[in-house]
Structure 1
Amino acid sequence: MAQDARSGGEALLFLTDEQLRKGIEAMFFAYRGFTADPDRILNNYSYGRAHHRAVHFIHRSPGTTVNNLLGILGVTKQSLNRVLRTLIEDGLVESRVGTRDKRERHLFLTEAGIALERELSDAQRKRMRDAYRAVGPDAVAGFRKVLEAMMEPEYRRYFKSLKEGES
C-alpha cells in the first residue's frame, strides 16, 4: 500500500481483534470512571443516570420539548415521564405549556436544577480536562473523531446541533 494512502487512516483498518478488544475494554472502564463521580452525587438524591442525562440536555437546550428530549435520549416516553415527574416534583425542572402549541411541554432547569447540573458537570469536566491535558491536543482531536464516527447518524445530528462553547 502506498504511503500516502496509509497516512489517510487506512492503516487503521489493519487493527487486530486483540487491539479492538482492548479498545472496547478501555471504553468500558473509561465510562465507569466518567460516570463514577456523578453517580456518587446522584446517589445523594436517589437519582440515576437517566436523571443526569435529562438534566444535562435540558441545561444544554433550555426550553427543549419533551419530544425533542425523547429523541436525544432514545428512551421510551414512559421512562422519560417517570424521570421528569421526579425532577419536577423535586423542584429541579419546570415544565411550561408551549405558546404556539398548547400540547407541547417546554422544559427548563430551576435554580436548584442548574446547581445540580453544575455539580455533575464540574466533576465530569475535571476528569475530562485532566485526561485531555495528559494526552495532548492531537489525541483529543483524534478521540473526538473516533467518538463521532461511532455515533449512529441520528445521534450525530443531535450532537452536531448542540451549540459549541456553551456551558
Structure 2
Amino acid sequence: MNETPSSQSLLFLTDEQLRKGIEAMFFAYRGFTADPDRILQEKGYGRAHHRAVHFIHRSPGTTVNNLLSILGVTKQSLNRVLRTLIEDGLVESRVGPEDKRERHLYLTEAGSVLERELTEAQRDRMRMAYKAAGPSAVAGFRQVLEAMMDEDIRRQYEALRDKTT
C-alpha cells in the first residue's frame, strides 16, 4: 500500500520511517549508478573516474586543488585517477597561466564523449523518476538533498549549480 503521510506527520518521523528513507536512498543510489558503472567497467574505470570527469566537465580549467576540495578525496587518490585519465587521453592538464605550479584540467574530445555517455544514462533515469513523481515531489526532493548537505558542501554545490554550461 502506498501511503502519503500528511505534512504534519512528517514533522514527527519515527526511527523506522527514517530507516526506510535511508534504505530507499541506498537502493536509489545503486540504481542511479548502475548504468554508468557498466559503462565505466567496460573501459576499466570506476566511480572516482566518473566523478572527476563530471566535475572537470562542469568547470573546465578547474585546478587540481579545487577538484580535491569538491571531491573530498586525498591528493594521492586523485592523482592516481587523474594520471589514468591523462594517460588514456580523456583529460588534459595545463600549466596555470599565472601560477606555474597550478595544473588546470580540461576534458579532451574523448573525455567529453565519455562524460556525455555517462551523464545521458543518469539523465534518462532522473527524467523518468522526476516525471513519475511530479513537480512538487521534485522540488521537495531537491530541498531534502540540499538540507542534508553540510554548509561548506552546500556552498560548493551552489557555486556549481549557479554555473551554466
TM, length-normalised to structure 2: 0.93
Once residues 70 and 51 of structure 1 are traced to their aligned partners in structure 2, the CA distance between those partners, rounded to angstroms, is 13
Q: Please name the residue that 1:130 is paired with.
A: 128
SS in 2 for 1:91: coil
Q: 1:112 to 1:86 in 2, by over 3 A?
A: same
Among 64, 67, 70, the alignment partner of 1:72 is 70
Q: Please name the residue that 2:158 is paired with.
A: 160
1:117 aligns with 2:115: yes
Once residues 128 and 69 of structure 1 are traced to their aligned partners in structure 2, the CA distance between those partners, rounded to angstroms, is 25
Q: Which amino acid aligns with 1:61?
A: S
Q: Please name the residue that 1:33 is paired with.
A: 31
Unaligned residue ranges in structure 1 (runs of 5+): 1-6
Q: Please name the residue that 1:143 is paired with.
A: 141
1:51-101 CA-partner distances (Å, limit 9, x unpaired): 000000000000000000000000000000000000000000000000010
Once residues 165 and 157 of structure 1 are traced to their aligned partners in structure 2, the CA distance between those partners, rounded to angstroms, is 13
Q: Please name the residue that 1:4 is paired with.
A: none
Once residues 70 and 139 of structure 1 are traced to their aligned partners in structure 2, the CA distance between those partners, rounded to angstroms, is 32
Unaligned residue ranges in structure 2 (runs of 5+): 1-5
SS in 1 for 2:43: coil
Q: Which amino acid aligns with 1:156?
A: R
Alignment root-mean-square deviation, CA: 1.5
- Large movers: runs of 4+ above 2 Å: 9-13, 163-167
> Share of identical aligned residues, percent?
79
Task: Tell me the CA shift for residue 152 of structure 1.
Answer: 1.4
Q: Please name the residue that 2:90 is paired with.
A: 92
Q: Please name the residue that 1:14 is paired with.
A: 12
1:10-30 CA-partner distances (Å, limit 9, x unpaired): 753300111100000000000
SS in 2 for 1:51: helix
Q: 1:96 to 1:10 in 2, by over 3 A?
A: farther
Once residues 63 and 144 of structure 2 are traced to their aligned partners in structure 1, the CA distance between those partners, rounded to angstroms, is 30
